[in-house]
Structure 1
């Protein structure tokens, strides 16, 4: 059996790379894969190289492992490209996305998917992804690009509009949330049958059953009786209001809607357990513990832990290589997949994968209240993508104006001033065309 060539872009994300490598190399058919590890940070890259070889030894696998800071070398002839980059890093980019809006009284939790933080992350990320795609068009035109980079929907939508490379966006919110709900109900997740659809981080379980029994009445009972865990109160509240459970975590979801994070209603933060500035706290904690973790990962005297993750990447590669059919959830272009969401936008739907590749399945129409809520997020995605495709700065303002959370907290003048401040603060991380300011009304 042939061995696939798999490029890891952003392999300096050592722990995530370790999980994906463990998944891939655990399959006998993939244990001889040609693994190319790429990162712009040679120190982090060296750590991942060490970890990759330890994982391979632990699994009895014999992959070809190469490391490089040369993107063309990593991409040349690759069958699969796994992308996990973060453009601008935690510092300065993510810190800027939090600290500048905070001066306007606009608070966030994660800021990587929607909102003003998601818009800015798209502006600095999509151009880099597109540049990579141009390299793929030359060096591996038949590759499958497996994107784990946020903001997922904006990235995938923009790439579909500008590159012919086959791309799918992968997330773990569907499978993670299914596991959380199974735990709340005391049912093994493997016994639950579900169907999910929507947009990334705002998909909903249209069906959630156990041995033919609809589990929604039991979930609604948890919500009505106030038994939802504090960290998950936002989603259980939305279940009460909409009748369906959303896939993304409560801390994420709270900043996609105008209902929960309000400077003038601080009691809501306590009531719904919303962790403001959650992502910076996580990053600071990871930075503080990195050297200790790195030493442990590189220590040959310590047993390296290899266990299967819930990520879809290895399942897709294995099914395409062996023909074993599976269903995964992927973020793809809406080509008549969901009737009441815009054609061409990025949707998250079940996808059949086998030797014929990734095949998204048609869902049809969503409950109207769900489609309407998703549309409020799609508006922001669409205008951000339009800004990226056309280079028009005015569409950045328009995207921010329509963002549910931003528009519920700030006036129009404040929104425009905030966009100006963020574009200036991000400097070289944002494409030059977005630094050309036009007066209001032009």
Structure 2
């Protein structure tokens, strides 16, 4: 693939100053035989310069420790990082954790779920992020037209859909939840990952697992009966009702708790707000500790503490995907891709999260064997909200933004939607100039 195959690959990581970067560096080192990276460019913005330097120096120490000829470059010049790249990954947070704090706090103040990718908070993150990523895509289209863009930036489904509908860049969205579930099943049953099949149906942060086979044996009923679950570090444990789960016939993503156990989750958020602050403030403390560790010149590997962040395994997912695209592996991975005709009740250009066979030409989404009838309504409602949000992000139209906010299942009324929209747009004014044109 690409024109660099003869002399190694160029990878650009946008948001290279992220605390997650050591994970992707570790993944690239471990996979070097199959993914011969020659240049790894870590790029950030002026506000992230200090973090980029700290993480970048750790990345250089990790590569030196591994004894590999990978040239690690740090830059604030996005265009030179992208130019001629084979892969571009994005892990950006427009507005940093400070913006996320308000995404969580303002809805909570009004008795609504405050979460960084779900509900009103997710909507604000999308409005801030989509224009920036489309801008990055313009650079890729000009400077690296053959590159694959692997997007981790949340809300990953919405961002990926905006890119595939409004740019020509070859883009795939990723989330760490599916690989996390696979690893959890692998540990639980003592079976290698390639002997486990889990079928994902739905959208990013809104999926069900409707088939789980381990060494060819169906394990779904057993898992539903025990109410055992794989939970991300960023979503608290709250018990599902066993009768409800059995009747549903699918293992729900932990994000679905916000929809089905809303009262319990909101109570938990409000309690946590009093004791620990918002999740953004908790993450900020974890991140500060990580950067303290990263500064230590003796540290030459990814520290264990990184797994305390909600995004554990995300880089393994990224490097798996690069490996499969580069080597035409034709293995199965769970990705965010255009729907086509997989879910017949959604538009063909809607991004969905399903299993795909990954070839050198890109992912081919696999048909799903069953979609629970009662999941369809929620998937369709959230997709409607997502498409309206993408339209609002591109147009800066408050009327469309209000329709998006009011159509989200977690927003209880139009009056509440109006109040939330006004307060949250005002809070995000520096990042959303399109909504403030006179």
Give the TM-score taking structure 2 as reference length.
0.86
Structure 1 residue aligned with 2:336: 331
Distance 1:8 1:206, change over 3 A: same
Q: Give the one of 205, 216, 219 matched to 1:215.
A: 219
Structure 2 residue aligned with 1:382: 387
How many residues end up aligned between the 2 structures? 416
Q: 1:174-253 to 2 correspondence within 5 Å?
A: 174-181=178-185, 186-188=189-191, 190=193, 191-223=195-227, 231-234=237-240, 239-246=245-252, 248-249=253-254, 252-253=255-256
Distance 1:212 1:304, change over 3 A: closer
Q: Give the one of 281, 284, 300 matched to 2:281.
A: 284
Q: 1:303-382 to 2 correspondence within 5 Å?
A: 303-305=300-302, 309=313, 311-363=316-368, 366-382=371-387
Distance 1:291 1:269, change over 3 A: closer
Give secondary structure in 2 for the equivalent of 1:22: helix
Give secondary structure in 2 for the equivalent of 1:233: coil
User: How far 1:404 sits from its partner (Å)?
Assistant: 1.0
Give secondary structure in 1 for the equivalent of 2:346: coil
Does structure 1 residue 34 correspond to structure 2 residue 39? yes
Structure 2 residue aligned with 1:400: 405
Structure 1 residue aligned with 2:431: 429
User: How far 1:360 sits from its partner (Å)?
Assistant: 2.8
Kept in 2, the 8 Å contact 1:228–1:236? The answer is: no
Structure 2 residue aligned with 1:260: 261
Q: Give the one of 51, 56, 61 matched to 2:58.
A: 51
CA shift digits 1:318-362 (9 cap, x unpaired): 223233332211101112232233321110122222333333333
Give the TM-score taking structure 1 as reference length.
0.85
Structure 1 residue aligned with 2:167: 163
Does structure 1 residue 4 correspond to structure 2 residue 9? yes
Does structure 1 residue 60 correspond to structure 2 residue 67? yes
Q: Gaps spanning 5+ residues in structure 1: where?
A: 438-442
Give secondary structure in 2 for the equivalent of 1:105: coil
Kept in 1, the 8 Å contact 2:201–2:209? The answer is: yes
Structure 2 residue aligned with 1:122: 126
Q: Which stretches of structure 1, 4 residues or longer, exceed 6 Å deviation after superposition?
A: 226-230
Kept in 1, the 8 Å contact 2:101–2:279? The answer is: no
Distance 1:228 1:334, change over 3 A: closer
What CA distance in whole angstroms lies between the structure 2 residues aligned with 1:317 and 1:115?
Answer: 31
Q: Give the one of 299, 302, 305 matched to 2:296.
A: 299
What CA distance in whole angstroms lies between the structure 2 residues aligned with 1:426 and 1:126?
Answer: 14
Structure 2 residue aligned with 1:74: 81
Give the aligned CA root-mean-square deviation in angstroms: 3.0
What CA distance in whole angstroms lies between the structure 1 residues aligned with 2:278 and 2:107?
Answer: 17
Distance 1:390 1:349, change over 3 A: same
Structure 1 residue aligned with 2:105: 99
Q: Gaps spanning 5+ residues in structure 2: where?
A: 1-5, 305-311
